[in-house]
Amino acid sequence: MFIFHIFSNKISKIVNRKIQAYENAKELNVVGRSSIIFTNLLKLFEILFPEVIVLVLICSCLGWNVATSFVIVLVAMLIPMIGNIDCDFNTRAEIKRLNQIKEDKFAEKVADNMRGE
């Protein structure tokens, strides 16, 4: 735990910067360069890393019988992450579809102008 508290500030800055860049791209309706799964794993890492350290400490001190409830809680936290990944894939597909529609409309206008209509 002591080592985690030493490095948590530096690690959280890096993780938060990546997450914020992804969220900004999503707000601007731009397809970001980062992976959806990687970004959601970073969000999960930010939340679960201290709990995993506590779980390891409990397992080493008391055994797996006591830590089983913590494992169940950690696994239960993965379920919303799967929903977030699916939602982000749908959002990215919608952004790509809207960009394609914009490009098609622009191409039609250019073609109409070239024909002289």
For residues 83-109, one letter each, b for 16 or more C-beta atoms within 10 angstroms of the residue's C-beta and e for the rest, the string is eeeeebeeebeebeeeeeeeeeeeeee
Per-residue model confidence as pLDDT tens digits over 63-75: 777 777 777 777 7
Mean pLDDT calculated for residue range 3-8: 68
pLDDT > 70? residue 1 = no
Mean pLDDT calculated for residue range 35-52: 77
For residue 62, give both structure tokens.
């008391």
Give dist(CA 57, CA 4) in Å, integer. Answer: 13
pLDDT > 70? residue 3 = no
Mean pLDDT calculated for residue range 50-56: 75
* 105 confidence band (pLDDT: 50, 70, 90): very high
